[in-house]
């Protein structure tokens, strides 16, 4: 099958809410991905409409939300190569129709031969290039094991049916959008150019693909066939494992067949918080996201944000101060809880938030102290998608290769990109400096430890009812994008389209400044923030929150592809799982 494009290039972002509302009122068509779609049954929203459609088709055939999430994830590995992956890792948060919830952690792990000083050369000099963009930057991938585990625990459809759509997309190809054709051409002539297999996978015999051409990925198709036939053994053992280990040996990486064989995804207890009567369900460590979001919400619960006004100077000041405090704790305490003690109960408690509020001055910005600790680099390339099925099971997934196109290394003969997630470990013991390196203990590379993440797939509920499935890419901005989606819905009564479209801000403790999306606020508001003592930077876009909201009145699911992403789209589903 070869999918044609269903809608033309997106209107420019910040084409205001009114236009979005008109698009919705025009009425989406079930069974075809849309920028915004509505359904009484199932819904999938992702950064690539083709993958949303693959998930919606699984729902229509009787699969549940976990099945659809797995199919969508495999399809994104073919159609959204900057971040969709089988060579990376991520997190899945699941809320069942009875209100219970769980999570699957499939974050990459450090190879067995890792050590905290692995990015220092013989002179003890730290190398950013080696830490972030080399074979030593590759963590043991987790995605296939995570999907396998989620399916064994909670899926109902046959595994092969979930992988088959991606096999077809890779073997038969799909039509390249303008955005994707441009993106893979830039990668193949840029960072990918040094690796023959990367050039082969992302060009047409060395020439760039154009928009409208069909892109086929036969090596990736064969890898996906092995996964279809042998589940995670098709990746972690046999041919695929040998291909990965051979590329690691060739390029000086650490991952061996033993590392792959030993990789395990973990089911973990979610982070749970409450905010003005809403329940927030999110990801525990090795994500920092759930803890940081709940900390910030607990701080903000004390203030009347509604009467301050959305994105007013007073509102932005209070939110920035909450973010500042949550991010300081992130740097101080958070890491893989299998290896370090993380005081989760304390950090997510209401009493602790009261303590953090004690020095929050409504009239004056606090000051972040760089001497406490500094922050590591994090790339803004990841992808988030959301699924709800007809029974109300909700699945929130964020997964990543870390940088766009990860390490840039396509496994020869395997056709898939490897992550550069080891860059999320701290650089080296004691190496903390003003340019943003960090050397604190908890998040140093150790054999089989998982690197700290900001990915925050989350679910919002109220009085036992599902309200929204949310999350975003964007490095550390992920936490704040997800936080603001919650504030937009709870404090400002926005529906999901408004909440996703609304301009976003970011503060991460250090550097000590507020970042606002371009055109987010008027110059008066920027001035007022500066008068409160904030440094303010305006420009750019933040995140890609491909979300689903559920109408409290009718139960209708509203899927929204974030207008900031060219190919994002939502697909509603009818049929058994999406009734
Ligand atoms: O796990 C993390 O927090 C980062 N590796 C995520 C990178 C990311 O979000 C890129 N996003 N667009």
446 falls in which pLDDT band (50, 70, 90)? very high
Does any ligand 1 atom lie closer than 6 A to the CB of residue 105?
no
Atom 11 (ligand 1) nearest CA: 381
Asked whether the predicted pLDDT for residue 13 surpasses 50, the reply is no
Average of pLDDT values for 228-240? Answer: 98
Q: Tokens at residue 263, please?
A: 């990789």
CA separation for the pair 182, 33 (Å, rounded):
22
Q: How far is the CA of 425 from the centre of ligand 1 (A)?
A: 12
Does any ligand 1 atom lie closer than 6 A to the CB of residue 380?
yes
Average of pLDDT values for 259-285? Answer: 98
Asked whether the predicted pLDDT for residue 220 surpasses 90, the reply is yes
Does any ligand 1 atom lie closer than 6 A to the CB of residue 292?
no
- Contact in structure between 425 and 444 (CB atoms under 8 Å): yes
Percent of the chain scored above 90 by pLDDT? 84
Mean residue pLDDT across the chain: 91
In this structure, what DSSP letter does residue 417 have? B
From 143, 183, 375, 379, give the residue whose CB has the most ligand 1 atoms within 8 Å, as the site to mutate: 379
378 falls in which pLDDT band (50, 70, 90)? low
- What kind and span of H or E run contains 487? helix 477-492
CA separation for the pair 344, 102 (Å, rounded):
16
Asked whether the predicted pLDDT for residue 15 surpasses 60, the reply is no
- What kind and span of H or E run contains 388? strand 383-388
Q: How far is the CA of 463 from the centre of ligand 1 (A)?
A: 32
Q: How far is the CA of 407 from the centre of ligand 1 (A)?
A: 13
Close Cβ partners of 18 (under 8 Å, ≥ 6 residues apart): none
Find the range with the poorest average confidence among 183-192, 419-428, 447-456: 419-428
Does any ligand 1 atom lie closer than 6 A to the CB of residue 400?
yes
Among 77, 323, 404, 402, CA closest to 221: 77
CA separation for the pair 170, 91 (Å, rounded):
24
CA separation for the pair 440, 428 (Å, rounded):
8
- Contact in structure between 94 and 154 (CB atoms under 8 Å): yes
Find the range with the poorest average confidence among 44-48, 171-175, 375-379, 492-496: 375-379
274 falls in which pLDDT band (50, 70, 90)? very high
Atom 10 (ligand 1) nearest CA: 381
Give me the catalytic one of 382, 432, 440, 477: 382
Among 193, 103, 196, CA closest to 153: 103
Does any ligand 1 atom lie closer than 6 A to the CB of residue 323?
no
Find how far residue 305's CA is from the centre of its chain.
27
Does any ligand 1 atom lie closer than 6 A to the CB of residue 279?
no
Among 347, 332, 399, CA closest to 103: 399
Any alpha helices (H) in 155-237, and if so which ranges?
159-172, 178-189, 196-202, 218-230, 233-236
pLDDT the model gives residue 442: 85
437 falls in which pLDDT band (50, 70, 90)? low
Asked whether the predicted pLDDT for residue 415 surpasses 70, the reply is yes
Identify whether 203 is a catalytic site residue. Answer: no
Find how far residue 534's CA is from the centre of its chain.
28
Among 422, 406, 272, CA closest to 350: 272
Asked whether the predicted pLDDT for residue 160 surpasses 80, the reply is yes
266 falls in which pLDDT band (50, 70, 90)? very high
pLDDT digits (tens, 9 = 90+) for 42-95: 999 999 999 999 999 999 999 999 999 999 999 999 999 999 999 999 999 999
- What kind and span of H or E run contains 386? strand 383-388
DSSP E strand stretches across 402-472: 458-462, 465-470
3 state SS of 28: coil
Does any ligand 1 atom lie closer than 6 A to the CB of residue 82?
no
pLDDT the model gives residue 371: 63
Close Cβ partners of 15 (under 8 Å, ≥ 6 residues apart): 563
Q: Tokens at residue 425, please?
A: 């470990």
Using CA atoms, how far residue 331 sits from 324, 327, 336, 505, 517, in Å, is: 11, 6, 13, 20, 24
Find the range with the poorest average confidence among 48-57, 61-70, 292-301, 365-374: 365-374
pLDDT digits (tens, 9 = 90+) for 302-339: 999 999 999 999 999 999 999 999 998 988 899 999 99
Q: How far is the CA of 382 from the centre of ligand 1 (A)?
A: 5
Q: What share of the chain is helix, strand, coil (3-state, %, to 5)?
A: 35, 15, 45
Asked whether the predicted pLDDT for residue 16 surpasses 50, the reply is no
Average of pLDDT values for 500-527? Answer: 95
Find the range with the poorest average confidence among 85-99, 203-217, 508-522: 508-522
pLDDT digits (tens, 9 = 90+) for 347-362: 999 999 999 999 999 9
Adjacent-strand bridge partners of 103:
93, 268
- Tell me the helices (H) and strands (E) count for the chain, helix number first: 20, 19
Does any ligand 1 atom lie closer than 6 A to the CB of residue 454?
yes
pLDDT digits (tens, 9 = 90+) for 130-139: 999 999 999 9
Q: What are phi and psi of 223, to 5 degrees?
A: -65, -45
Phi-psi region of 479 (alpha: psi -120 to 50; beta: other; left: phi over 0): alpha
pLDDT digits (tens, 9 = 90+) for 19-52: 322 232 223 333 456 789 999 999 999 999 999 9
pLDDT digits (tens, 9 = 90+) for 535-568: 999 999 999 999 999 999 999 999 999 999 999 9
pLDDT the model gives residue 292: 98
Among 211, 71, 220, CA closest to 566: 211
- Contact in structure between 379 and 402 (CB atoms under 8 Å): yes
pLDDT digits (tens, 9 = 90+) for 111-131: 999 999 999 988 889 999 999
* pTM, entire model: 0.93
Find how far residue 123's CA is from the centre of its chain.
36
From 88, 139, 287, 400, give the residue whose CB has the most ligand 1 atoms within 8 Å, as the site to mutate: 400
- Contact in structure between 383 and 47 (CB atoms under 8 Å): yes
3 state SS of 129: helix
DSSP E strand stretches across 72-207: 89-95, 101-106, 174-175
């Amino acid at each position: 099958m070869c999918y044609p494009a269903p809608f033309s290039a997106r209107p420019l972002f910040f084409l205001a809410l009114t236009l979005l509302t008109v698009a919705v009122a025009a009425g989406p068509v079930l069974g075809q991905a849309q920028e915004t779609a509505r359904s009484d049954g199932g819904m999938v929203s992702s950064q690539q409409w083709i993958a949303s459609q693959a998930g919606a088709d699984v729902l229509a055939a009787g699969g549940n939300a976990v099945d659809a999430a797995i199919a969508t994830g495999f399809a994104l590995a073919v159609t959204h190569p900057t971040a969709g992956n089988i060579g990376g890792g991520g997190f899945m948060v699941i809320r069942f129709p009875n209100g219970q919830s769980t999570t699957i952690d499939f974050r990459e792990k450090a190879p067995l031969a890792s050590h905290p000083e692995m990015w220092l050369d013989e002179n003890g000099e730290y190398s950013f290039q080696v830490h972030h963009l080399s074979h030593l930057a590759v963590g043991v991938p987790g995605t296939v094991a995570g999907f396998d585990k989620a399916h064994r625990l909670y899926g109902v459809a046959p595994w092969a049916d979930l992988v088959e759509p991606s096999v077809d997309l890779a073997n038969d190809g799909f039509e390249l959008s303008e955005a994707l054709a441009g993106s893979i051409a830039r990668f193949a002539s840029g960072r990918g150019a040094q690796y023959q297999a990367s050039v082969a996978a992302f060009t047409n015999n060395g020439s760039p693909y154009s928009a409208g051409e069909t892109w086929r990925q036969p090596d990736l198709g064969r890898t996906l066939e092995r996964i279809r036939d042998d589940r995670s053994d098709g990746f972690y053992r046999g041919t695929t494992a040998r291909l990965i280990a051979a590329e690691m040996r060739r390029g000086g990486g650490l991952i061996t067949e033993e590392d792959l064989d030993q990789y395990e995804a973990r089911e973990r207890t979610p982070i749970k918080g409450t905010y003005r009567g809403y329940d927030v369900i999110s990801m525990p460590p090795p994500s920092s996201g759930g803890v940081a979001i709940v900390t910030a919400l607990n701080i903000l619960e004390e203030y009347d944000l509604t009467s301050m006004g959305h994105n007013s100077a007073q509102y932005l000041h209070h939110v920035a101060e909450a973010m500042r405090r949550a991010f300081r704790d992130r740097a101080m305490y958070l890491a893989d809880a299998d290896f370090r003690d993380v005081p989760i109960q304390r950090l997510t408690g209401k009493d602790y938030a009261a303590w953090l509020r004690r020095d929050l001055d409504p009239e004056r910005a606090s000051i972040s102290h760089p001497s406490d600790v500094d922050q590591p680099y994090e790339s803004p390339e990841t992808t988030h998608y959301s699924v709800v099925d007809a029974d109300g099971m909700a699945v929130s997934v964020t997964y990543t290769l870390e940088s766009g196109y990860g390490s840039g290394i396509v496994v020869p003969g395997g056709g898939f990109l490897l992550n550069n997630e080891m860059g999320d470990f701290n650089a080296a013991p004691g190496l903390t400096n003003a340019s943003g390196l960090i050397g604190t203990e908890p998040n140093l590379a150790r054999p089989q430890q998982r690197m700290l993440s900001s990915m925050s797939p989350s679910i919002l509920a109220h009085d036992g009812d599902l309200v929204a499935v949310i999350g975003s890419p964007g490095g550390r901005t992920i936490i704040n994008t997800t936080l603001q989606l919650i504030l937009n819905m709870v404090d400002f009564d926005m529906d999901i389209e408004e909440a996703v479209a609304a301009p976003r801000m970011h503060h991460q403790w250090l550097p000590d400044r507020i970042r606002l999306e371009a055109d987010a606020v008027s110059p008066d508001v920027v001035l007022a923030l500066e008068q409160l003592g904030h440094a303010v930077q305006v420009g750019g876009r933040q995140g890609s929150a491909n979300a689903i909201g559920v109408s409290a009145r009718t139960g209708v699911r509203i899927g929204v592809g974030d207008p900031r992403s060219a190919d994002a789209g939502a697909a509603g589903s009818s049929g058994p799982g999406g009734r």
